[in-house]
Amino acid sequence: MVRLPEYDDMDAVDIAHQISTKALSVKEVVEAAIDRIEVRNPQINSIVTSMVERWPSDFAKTASDSPLYGVPFLLKDLVAAFEGVPFSCGSRVLADYIPDHDSEMVTRFKHAGLIHLGKTNTPEFGLMGVTEPELFGPSRNPWNTAHTPGGSSGGSAAAVASRIVPIASAGDGGGSIRIPASCCGVFGLKPSRGRTPTGPDQGQLWQGAAVEHVLTRSVRDSALMLDLTAGLDQGGHFPVALPDRPYSEVIKEAPRKLTLAFSTNNPTGGSLHPECLRAVEKTAQLLRSLGHEVEEATPEYDAQQLYQCYLSMNLGETAAAVGHIEEELGRSLKPGQDIEVMTAMLVKLGKAYSAKEFAQALHAWNQYARAMGKFHQKYDLYLTPTMADLPAKVGELMPTPIEKLILKGLYNLPVAHLLKRTGVFEQLAFRQLEKLPFTQLANLTGQPAMSVPVHWADNGLPVGVQFMAPMGDETTLFQVAAQLEAELQWQQHKPAWLAAD
């Protein structure tokens, strides 16, 4: 049996309050979290690096008046470095890499009072919409362990959904906060470009498409965490005006009457699962009952071009990142040994794109931002499904063994441009994109967006819906999320197997 049964139903704000009023001690709370790590993590493989032994020394200098003093926390094993702790990014080649410094986000997490108990699983270099790295094996969805928790923040989402911790770090370069949030029935907000820091190791993370934040069960935890981490770090690239009032305060007020657009059209031209359609329709009806105006409308942009631009950026960034590792090691990385075959393919394809093609793809981002700017002249928020399908089964969206053999053979083509012409990678990428087609738009425009857990399918899997807001308007997103949370009480839903603990 796990200790402190009530821990399962407490969010980070609750826990911090219980500690500050001495109703609970930090030791009691941490022991409760460790119990859950030991009992639940083997079922879902969310935590891949333990920091349990070091938490007393790491936490010793934390100010007792920190807003989230003593709250257990998990750190995604990507982007954010923690001094002295392995930082693999889900890759075998970095399995033994130990940074000698903290990232700025980790510094802010520490100042918030959080206790780091481990690092969570991520696909190699965060490149997939599922979390199945060869280094650590797949993470699994707490609602049905045959299914994926999504990616690339799947380990964090699974840990939060299984009540191991109330809050865990996450990042989003194409949906990697929102997709796992939808898969696991938790709340996930992608902040505006530049809202949170990426330094000192990163600057324009994925050319500004990627941003760091957290996954939570409650809206107020996410809002408070953004209050505590928002703002440029030294040398930051994208200044975004801070809100007039803290997010954790404005969520206590209902939003003004809003005009929202919704769309259930799959931008790839593919299908939409009936449960995803039902989630949007249910949310639209609820918003109308709360006094908002909701109508069907779709922004005008070329979705196929957007996906190609996104892939071009992704390929170029992957080639550059792996190239940097090769320079540091002084050797080429071996596909299937140092890095996964799929990653090696991305690197080779990235090298096949010219500087001109890469720049042209980045220039096209402006078209999408302008199109959404025009759209938001009429609509305060844009509502879509978060995903076009329910969470896939583990392995379903990864290359099959035969496909891996084909990829390895194609990798050996002497000229990268020949590989590019085969179109094999685009076919594999499209297999994911047609199931995950809604999230990339906000990454390229830089807008804030969130996935809200509004629905559970007949088979028990969660279904989220996505809201996008104008650049810099996290306030409205948080207010609407809090309004929906009050109506739907989604935190009452929990995976049935947790009761057996």
Cβ atoms of 117 and 71 closer than 8 Å:
no
DSSP state letter for 335? B
What is the DSSP-derived secondary structure letter of residue 333?
P
- At 466, phi and psi to the nearest 5? -105, 140
- Beta sheet of 259-262, edge-to-edge order: 47-50, 115-120, 72-76, 167-172, 211-216, 187-190, 449-456, 462-468, 381-385, 259-262, 293-296
CB 450 within 8 A of CB 178: yes
152 noted as active-site residue: yes
Backbone angles phi, psi at 392, to 5 degrees: -70, 160
Q: Provide the sign of the torsion angle of the four alpha carbons 341, 343, 348, 352, taken in this order.
A: positive
Q: Which of 152, 169, 192, 222 is catalytic?
A: 152
Return contacts of 327-335, CB within 8 angstroms, 24+ apart.
Answer: 329/93, 333/93, 335/408, 335/411
Nearest to 128 by CA among 365, 387, 268, 314: 314
Which tokens is 189 given? 């907000």
Q: What CA–CA distance (Å, rounded) separates 279 from 450?
A: 15
Q: Report whether 478 contacts 254 (CB < 8 A).
A: no
Q: Which of 91, 156, 176, 248 is catalytic?
A: 176
Residue 270 neighbours by CB distance under 10 Å: 13
Give the three-class secondary structure for 221: helix
At 146, the amino acid letter reads A
Task: Answer yes or no: are the C-beta atoms of 438 and 267 closer than 8 Å.
Answer: yes
**Is 393 annotated as catalytic?**
no
- Adjacent-strand bridge partners of 383: 262, 467
Judging by beta carbons within 10 Å of its beta carbon (0-12, 13-18, 19+), is residue 74 exposed, middle or buried?
buried
Contacts of 246 (CB under 8 A, 6+ apart): 223, 227
- Give the span between the Cα atoms of 230 and 220, in whole angstroms: 15
CA distance 34 to 406: 43
Residues in Cβ contact with 151 at an 8 Å cutoff, skipping those fewer than 6 apart: 122, 123, 126, 128, 129, 130, 131, 132, 176, 179, 180
How far is the C-alpha of 156 from the C-alpha of 151, rounded, in Å? 9
Would you call 25 a catalytic residue per the annotation? no
Q: Under a CB-based contact definition with an 8 Å cutoff, are residues 248 and 476 in contact?
A: no
Q: What is the DSSP letter of 450?
A: E
Which residue's entry shows tokens 């940074």?
Answer: 99
Name the DSSP class of 166. S
Q: What 3-state DSSP class applies to 465?
A: strand
Which sequence positions are flagged as catalytic? 76, 152, 176
